Structure 1
Amino acid sequence: MTLADLTGRARALAREAGFDAVRITRADAPWEAGNRLRRFVEAGHHAGMGWMEETLDRRLHPTAMWEDARSAVVVGLNYGPDHDPLESLKHADRAVISVYARNKDYHDVLKKRLKQMARAFHGETGKAVKVFVDTAPLMEKPLAHRSGLGWQGKHTNLVSREWGSWLFLGVMLTEAELTPDAPETDHCGSCRACLDVCPTAAFLSAYRLDAGRCISYLTIEHKGPIPEEFRAAMGNRIYGCDDCLAVCPWNKFASQTSESAFHARAELEAPLLTELARLDDPAFRAFFTASPVKRIGRDRFVRNVLIALGNSGDSLALAPVLDLLDDASALVRGSAVWALWRLDREAFAAERGARLSGERDPDVRAEWLR
């Protein structure tokens, strides 16, 4: 097959697999992204994501993952919502779950289509291929930028002139030589909407994120108690945060996804915090079947819900908060103590006095000793 034939088939097979966007770039060309990542990790801005440091050498360049890779076919799948995600923040008694996590796990959807595309390409051309979604140590956003699919905005996420902020990314590396597309230009200009909207001031400057301050990191990756300085700023966000994505002016060109797997489940659009707080482990697993939310586990999830309840000012929140003061998880108990303190100082003082004066297991009393 000629270069044009190979390139054409790669594009066509991506479309046949159901991807909304496809671009191609060299996988073996030099780039600066690896040095930026190294500086990010060396500065400690990856926070508690130790896996990023452990896999750093493999992340620095696509050929570090596979030395025979010559081309990268970068694909995108639109997950645009049918509403403004920021509207949900106005309802303090309701939980806000990031747009991407309100239905099926996108990793499963993308991986299935990538495998379909890769099998067909290998079968037709005989060229070796490997596929990646973002769980692999491959820097897919810089590849997408260099392929022309979009550019990494000041919030470090990909922005597309056609799809706005709402693209899931996947990559097929191949040993085949393909004709690359031109890189996209950065169109952020003087805009700083994404930087200014961040509730926790997680951006050190344009294009520089401190993950340890990011609500997405805190609610998903962080395993311990939420640091006190960020609890009030979390509001009712219990899994991820879309603020910097949602305010981007380029979303005026975005459209609602046509993929049913990404249409929000009704029960996940704006669930009551009080109902989520009552989920035990089996109920949590059943409620979030096939959802990316499931991977953080019940205890971290309820931790997040309790922070949101503490921020809600809702008198109905007291009952589930009181119930969770004796939860088996110290992480949950500590969050419940804070939520009670936020909701009702008198009830907190009475409960604290009763618990410290009575005979209690020291481990259970620890949350009240601060």
Structure 2
Amino acid sequence: MQVNSHIDKGQFISQVRVWARELGFSQIGVHNVDLSSAEPGLRDWLSHGFHGEMAYMAAHGMKRARPAELVPGTVSVLTARMDYLPRNTPEGWQSAELARLQNPASPGEGVISIYARGRDYHKVLRSRLQKLAERMEQHLRELSVAGVGSDERDAFEYRVFTDSAPVLEAELAARSGLGWRGKHTLVLNRDAGSMFFLGEIFLNLELPPTEPVSPHCGSCDACITACPTQAILGPGRLDARRCISYLTIEHPGSIPQELRPLMGQRIYGCDDCQLVCPWNKYAQRSTLPDFDAREGMAGSGLLTLLAWDEAEFLRRTEGSAIRRIGHERWRRNILVALGNALHGGKLGVADSVAVRAALQRYADPEANVSDLLREHARWALALPVSDDGRESGVF
């Protein structure tokens, strides 16, 4: 049911902003549940198969654009963003990260997206959104006891989300004024760039919506040009099947051979479209230690990362977003990166020998590895593979 509260909603939102700041959020906004104008774009995107093997993107139909169907009784959505650059991020970090990709300090370095080097953002945001919702609930209860607002003390209902359900997060964020949709489809903010996470609280309390902001990309197309796999087909049009973030995280099987050389040494996610964005010179450091890079997640060599057995992988990625891809997909990504490092012309003789030896251990027909890993190792060594991606001949 909807809460018919007579509280001063402007004052209430001001108080919620204070609580949100205390919990580490950078900004909040409010939108109603009408996303009907986003449905044609969603249908078109799905009809072209741009979601790849992310079946969950299509599984709920248009419910993704209909908050009140996803959570009956919802009349408002509170949106929130949280900056995630690590606290010790130096000035000039964009140039430093681009250099990591183009001329890594270690030619055999594995590159992990900045957002994934710390704690799993799902855990951080969900917990803090829950705390924010509980503070809202407690405040409304106190007002009710004091005789202000609704007499139905248990009527306030909510549900928190962060990249965990069929929710059009970026669209809600843009419509509630947290930023505008950049040409790469991410949300951009004039004061914070795009280096932030998004989350929502679905509410049965009607709140005044916050105003959207106008877009400020102008004629800039740096993100489109910079995409290594040309996954951004045009302004606001992304083919996830070509996106390195999708390939290294969501794609479960064999990575298309024509895309492997374009992945470089990126083994989890990709930041290129954000690194070249002029607005990210304003990106903000997080106030939380959660997003500080963990040991081994920045600057580690590919051979070191490949050497992690499953137990060490699970230990190292405990509480990390990386754990969700599993050990096999982790090794698959590293094998591709090793192939690119091997044939990139930057490895010394000793490093080349070590990389080849590691790849041989995975490519050997007698190796105790999956066909998926063997096939990627053989590709990395430039050994023959058949048209269907299976090994051919004898090793």
Give yes or no for TM over 0.5. Answer: yes
Aligned to 2:133: 118
In structure 1, C-alpha distance between the alignment counterparts of 2:322 and 2:268, rounded to whole Å: 7
Aligned to 2:239: 210
Aligned to 2:19: 13
AA at the equivalent of 1:256: R
Matches within 5 A, 1:44-59: 44-59=49-64
Aligned to 2:212: 183
Q: Deviations over 1:303-344 (max 9, x none)?
A: 110000001023031121112222421111111111111xxx
Pick one of 103, 119, 122 that aligns with 1:107.
Answer: 122
AA at the equivalent of 1:68: G
Residue 4 in structure 1 maps to residue 10 in structure 2: yes
- CA displacement at 1:22 relative to structure 2: 1.3
Aligned to 1:359: none
**Contact 1:20–1:78 (8 Å) recurs in 2:** yes
Matches within 5 A, 1:157-306: 157-306=186-335
Aligned to 1:129: 158
Pick one of 334, 338, 341 that aligns with 2:379.
Answer: 338
Residue 309 in structure 1 maps to residue 314 in structure 2: no
AA at the equivalent of 1:239: Y
Residue identity over aligned pairs, in percent, reads 40
Residue 77 in structure 1 maps to residue 115 in structure 2: no
- CA displacement at 1:30 relative to structure 2: 4.5
Which is further off, 62-71 or 271-280? 62-71
**Contact 1:277–1:302 (8 Å) recurs in 2:** yes
Give the RMSD, CA atoms, in angstroms.
1.8
In structure 1, C-alpha distance between the alignment counterparts of 2:206 and 2:17, rounded to whole Å: 13
Aligned to 2:391: 367
Q: 1:306 to 1:76 in 2, by over 3 A?
A: same
Larger helix fraction of residues: 1
Q: Secondary structure at the match of 2:296?
A: helix
**Contact 1:154–1:188 (8 Å) recurs in 2:** yes
Q: 1:5 to 1:258 in 2, by over 3 A?
A: closer
AA at the equivalent of 1:323: R
Q: 1:17 to 1:255 in 2, by over 3 A?
A: closer
In structure 2, C-alpha distance between the alignment counterparts of 1:254 and 1:327, rounded to whole Å: 45
- CA displacement at 1:18 relative to structure 2: 2.2
Aligned to 1:68: 73
Q: Secondary structure at the match of 1:76?
A: strand
In structure 1, C-alpha distance between the alignment counterparts of 2:292 and 2:316, rounded to whole Å: 16
Aligned to 2:174: 145
**Contact 1:57–1:64 (8 Å) recurs in 2:** no
AA at the equivalent of 1:107: H
Q: Given the two structures, how large is their TM-score scaled by the length of structure 1? A: 0.90
Aligned to 1:36: 41
Aligned to 1:362: none
Aligned length: 349
**Contact 2:113–2:271 (8 Å) recurs in 1:** yes
In structure 1, C-alpha distance between the alignment counterparts of 2:217 and 2:67, rounded to whole Å: 26
**Contact 2:35–2:65 (8 Å) recurs in 1:** no
**Contact 1:327–1:333 (8 Å) recurs in 2:** no
Provide runs of 4+ in structure 1 moved above 6 Å: none
Aligned to 1:87: 99
Q: Given the two structures, how large is their TM-score scaled by the length of structure 2? A: 0.84
- CA displacement at 1:369 relative to structure 2: 4.3
**Contact 1:62–1:138 (8 Å) recurs in 2:** yes
In structure 1, C-alpha distance between the alignment counterparts of 2:67 and 2:213, rounded to whole Å: 19
AA at the equivalent of 1:87: A
In structure 2, C-alpha distance between the alignment counterparts of 1:206 and 1:194, rounded to whole Å: 9
Q: What are structure 2's unaligned runs of at least 5 residues?
A: 1-6, 141-152
Q: Secondary structure at the match of 1:367?
A: coil
Q: Secondary structure at the match of 2:201?
A: strand
- CA displacement at 1:31 relative to structure 2: 3.9
In structure 2, C-alpha distance between the alignment counterparts of 1:203 and 1:212, rounded to whole Å: 11
AA at the equivalent of 1:131: V
AA at the equivalent of 2:173: A
Q: Deviations over 1:60-111 (max 9, x none)?
A: 2222212321221111110125222222112241000011100110000001
Q: Secondary structure at the match of 2:198?
A: strand
Q: 1:31 to 1:58 in 2, by over 3 A?
A: closer
Pick one of 322, 341, 353 that aligns with 2:360.
Answer: 322
Q: 1:207 to 1:319 in 2, by over 3 A?
A: same
Aligned to 1:356: none
Q: Secondary structure at the match of 2:205?
A: coil
In structure 1, C-alpha distance between the alignment counterparts of 2:377 and 2:110, rounded to whole Å: 16
In structure 2, C-alpha distance between the alignment counterparts of 1:280 and 1:324, rounded to whole Å: 13
Q: Secondary structure at the match of 2:11?
A: helix
Which is further off, 265-274 or 61-70? 61-70
AA at the equivalent of 2:234: S
